[in-house]
Structure 1
Amino acid sequence: MFALPLNSQNLPYPDPIHPIVVHFVIAMVCFSFICDLVGYFSRNPRLFEVGFWNIFVAAIAIFVAIIFGQFEAGLAQVYPAVQPTLNFHTVMGWSLGAIIAAVTAWRFVIRNRNPLKVPPTYLGIATFLICLVFLQVYLGSKLFWVYGLHVKPVVEAMKQGASP
């Protein structure tokens, strides 16, 4: 069996890729929401186009983030205290992937029917989506900053047999 050597972060490549891609997704979902909200109140349809393309690209990129998240979670030094947060983060990640894909499909239908308007119902659902994204950000931050997944000192301590 072929195995890649792991570095000091317990990864086969220099830095975790999941956070890089996921921050891109977070920014695009938030920017899409802001564009749609400002476009709605300012009646500027050009912002709706920007909002649509941001959510469209985010809908693709989130699955790249999920794939790297799953891979990197599998390589993480997981100890019992981490497991519930990691499990919830994983379920939320897959759920957000499905929700963002569904919202994007709905946004595509809205755009095709009338590119000059976005209904208030969509903005309500998008607000809920932003809340879910913020919850996911909290969970991911907790995995890194509190539990130290893929953080060099924690990885080294776990390799030496330390238990948190």
Structure 2
Amino acid sequence: MFELLQKLNDHGLPYPDTIHPIIVHFVIAMVLFAFVCDIIGYFTKNARLFEVSWWNMCLATVAVFVAIIFGQFEAGLAHPYDMAQPVLSVHTLIGWSLSGIIAAITGWRYVIRLKTPDKLPVPYLGLGIVLTGLIFVQVFLGDELVWIYGLHTVPVVEALKEGLL
């Protein structure tokens, strides 16, 4: 298994740097910005902000699946050691769950957009708060994988190559 690591770069990847975090940051920004637009649009009664929110959620729905594909690929190349594995497993589970949740919320948003494009129901905004909370938990776990456990960082990859982990 470790002979494969010799063909990868200093980060343990076949390409220059991790792609998963780049795409994930777009998803995070789009979902949070959509929620902010919804809140502001709800209180100001500005339907144009609902349109901005809708398109952000559409793009986030597509991007979250791309982020998961790269996340699964990069997690497989990380060869997580025993201490990192539980965090990675929870991060993976929440990531897949978020993809379904974001897709479902976007579907609900599509129905709302068709029926009442100029207003949002309060339960939809409440679900936006729950989604924001889940995203913050997911960000925390992702940060922990990089900053605490060092997945795809040069020292951890070198330790793996030398068989120290």
Same fold (TM over 0.5): yes
The answer to whether 1:136 aligns with 2:138 is: yes
Count of aligned pairs between the two proteins: 161
The one of 123, 128, 135 equivalent to 1:121 is 123
Partner of 1:95: 97
Unaligned 5+ runs, structure 1: none
- Displacement after TM superposition at 1:73 (Å): 0.2
Q: Give the match's secondary structure for 1:16.
A: coil
Partner of 2:11: 9
Partner of 1:66: 68
Distance in 1 (CA, whole Å) between partners of 2:72 and 2:65 is: 10
Greater Cα offset, 39-48 or 4-13: 4-13
Partner of 1:47: 49
The one of 82, 85, 90 equivalent to 1:83 is 85
Unaligned 5+ runs, structure 2: none
Identity of aligned residues (%): 60
CA RMSD of aligned residues (A): 1.2
TM (norm. structure 2) is: 0.95
Letter in 1 for 2:87: T
- Displacement after TM superposition at 1:154 (Å): 1.2
- Displacement after TM superposition at 1:77 (Å): 2.8
Q: Give the match's secondary structure for 1:69.
A: helix
- Displacement after TM superposition at 1:151 (Å): 0.5
Q: Deviations over 1:10-50 (max 9, x none)?
A: 00000000000000000000000000000001111100000
TM (norm. structure 1) is: 0.96
Distance in 1 (CA, whole Å) between partners of 2:146 and 2:63 is: 21
Off by >4 Å, runs of 4+ in structure 1: none
